[in-house]
A and B are shown apart, each in its own frame.
Chain A
C-alpha cells in the first residue's frame, strides 16, 4: 500500500504503540483487499458487546486505554450488551456487567462517545452524500451507504477502533466508486405495507444476492418508504445477505435511473409473492406456545415507540414484552409518555442495548425463553443459532400476542 509520511510515522511507532497497532491492522486489511492507499474518514462507529469481545477484548481495550492515544475523529458506539440499569432481572450476571463496565471505562478514557445506538443515522449525526466513514453494525452501514450516499464498508469493532485512532481506513470495497454499481437487478411485484413487510422484502433480496460483493438495484416500488421502513428493509438485507449497499430506482440518491447505477444490462429477476410467503412461513411459529415478545433490531425510533405505546395503552401483557431503544430516543419517549404507557402495560423498555447482543443464549436459558416473537426480520434470522424458535409478525400482532399470551 502507498502510505503518506504521516502513516509511515504511525507504522514506525512515532505516535505510540496503539496507533502503531491500528495502522498495522489497517495495512493487513488493505493488503488483503488490494487497497492502493488509505482514505480519511469523518466518523467511526464501533460495535462491541461483551458476549462478542469477552475477557480478551476487554483486556485489549484496557491496554489501549493505558496509553496516551485518543481517538482523532468523532467516534460513537453501537448498542451495549448489558443495560447497567436493568440486567439482573434479565438473568444477566455480575460477570457480564463487569466486562461491560471495564469496556465502557476504557472507551471513555480514549475519547469515544458512548451513544450505544444502531440508529445513529436517525438520532445522532447522519453522514452526508459522499462522506467516507468507518461504521460498524451492518444496519448502520447499509442505511448510510444506500439512503445517505455515504461510503463505508462493514467495519468490525477492532477495525472501527483502528479508524478512530488513525482517522482513516483502507480504500477498498465501497470506498471505491466502481464497487458501488449494481450487480443484481430485482423487480418488486408485491408492495410492502408495514415495517415487517419491508423487513421480509429486504430479507428475500439479501438471501438472493447472498454476498458482500453484490449490489442489488430494485425497481417496482410504488412509493417512497419512511425512514423506519427502509431501516428494516436494509437491516434485514444486510443480515440475510451480508449486503452493505442497495439502490432503489427513483428513491435512493445514487439511483435516479437504472442507468445511473449501471444496471441496464443486468437480467431482471422478479421478487415473487411465493418467495415472500416462503420466507414468512419459515418463521411462522410453532403452535400457540409463546415465551417472550421482542421489539428490537434495529432499536426503535421515536415513531416506532409511539406506535408500540399506542398498542399497549390501557392493556396488560401476559407474556414478557421487551422493547429496545436508543438512549437518545429513550429520553424523548419518556418525556412524551410512551415509555410509561409500555411499562404500565407490563412491558420492559431497555435503553442502549439490543436483545440479540445481550447474551441472548444465557438470558433465554435463565428465563426459559424459547418461543420468541418479533416484528424484526433481522432478529428472527439471528436467534435460531442461540437456541430460540423465533417467529415473525407485525408490531401490532406481536403486542396483541403478548397481551393474549399466545402466538399471533
Chain B
C-alpha cells in the first residue's frame, strides 16, 4: 500500500530513490568524506555508509555554512544524495539545495519522519506538492 506523508513545500525536482535513514543530524563539512561518498564522522549513525544517489532522511542540520557550497560541488561531480528529507532544515541546507537544484523537503505533519521511513524503502519526493510517497518496502 502506498503511504503519503505531507510536508511543507520544498525545493528542487521530483525524484525517486532508496531511503537511507537515521535519527541523526547533517552537515556536509562535519560528517562526509565527499570524495569517497561516505559518512566519515565516527560518531554519526550512518558512519561508513555510502550516500551516493540515496535519499537521505535525517533530523536536522548542524554546524556551519559550508554545506551550501558543498551540495553544489557534490552534484557537479555526481557523488551526491538524490534528495534530503529532514524534520527541520536550517537556512544553509535550503540555500545549498537551491544552489545545487537538489530536492529538499521538511516540516512533516505526521511526526518524526526518521521514524516513519525505513532504510531501503523506495520513495518518491514531490517538493512542489509538498509530500513524499513510500512506493515499496
Q: Is the CB of B90 within 8 A of A242?
A: yes
Give 20 A-B pairs besides A138-B64, A213-B88 with Cβ atoms closer than 8 angstroms: A29-B94, A33-B94, A49-B66, A52-B70, A60-B72, A137-B65, A138-B63, A156-B66, A157-B69, A158-B68, A158-B69, A210-B25, A211-B88, A242-B62, A382-B30, A382-B64, A384-B30, A384-B43, A385-B44, A387-B40
Q: How far is the CA of A212 from the CA of B33 in the complex (A)?
A: 24
1/0 contact string of A36-53 vs chain B (CB within 8 Å): 000000000001110011
Which of chain B's residues 11-57 have a Cβ closer than 8 Å to chain A?
Answer: 11, 25, 29-33, 40-44
Q: Is the CB of B65 within 8 A of A138?
A: yes
Q: Is the CB of A29 within 8 A of B90?
A: no
A371 to chain B, nearest CB (A): 15
Q: A242-B60, A361-B33, A385-B32 are in contact. Are A212 and B68 (CB under 8 A)?
A: no
Could you list 6 A-B pairs, sorted by A, with CB under 8 Å? A56-B76, A57-B72, A156-B92, A157-B65, A242-B60, A242-B90
Q: Which residues of A contact B119 (CB under 8 A)?
A: none
Q: Is the interface of A mostly helix, strand, loop or mixed?
A: helix
Q: Is B67 an interface residue (CB 8 A)?
A: yes
Closest 10 CB pairs of A and B: A156-B68, A56-B76, A212-B90, A54-B73, A385-B41, A52-B69, A28-B98, A158-B99, A159-B95, A53-B69
Chain B residues near A (Cβ < 8 Å) = 8-11, 25, 29-33, 40-44, 60-70, 72-73, 75-77, 88-92, 94-96, 98-99, 104
Q: Which residues of A contact B73 (CB under 8 A)?
A: 52-57
B78 to chain A, nearest CB (A): 11
Q: Which residues of A contact B30 (CB under 8 A)?
A: 381-382, 384-385
Which of chain A's residues 267-282 have a Cβ closer than 8 Å to chain B?
Answer: none
Q: Is the CB of A53 within 8 A of B72?
A: yes
Q: Is the CB of B64 within 8 A of A158?
A: no
B76 to chain A, nearest CB (A): 3
Q: A158-B95, A382-B29, A384-B43 are in contact. Are A32 and B9 (CB under 8 A)?
A: yes
Q: Is A154 an interface residue (CB 8 A)?
A: yes
Q: A53-B73, A54-B73, A384-B43 are in contact. Are A155 and B61 (CB under 8 A)?
A: no
1/0 contact string of A227-241 vs chain B (CB within 8 Å): 000000000001111
Q: Is A31 an interface residue (CB 8 A)?
A: yes
Q: How far is the CA of A117 from the CA of B104 in the complex (A)?
A: 31
Residue of B nearest to A361 (CB): B33
Q: Which residues of A contact B98 (CB under 8 A)?
A: 25, 28-29, 32, 158
Q: Which residues of B contact A242 (CB under 8 A)?
A: 25, 60-63, 90, 92
Q: Is A199 an interface residue (CB 8 A)?
A: no
Q: Is the CB of B40 within 8 A of A385?
A: yes
Q: How far is the CA of A25 from the CA of B11 in the complex (A)?
A: 11
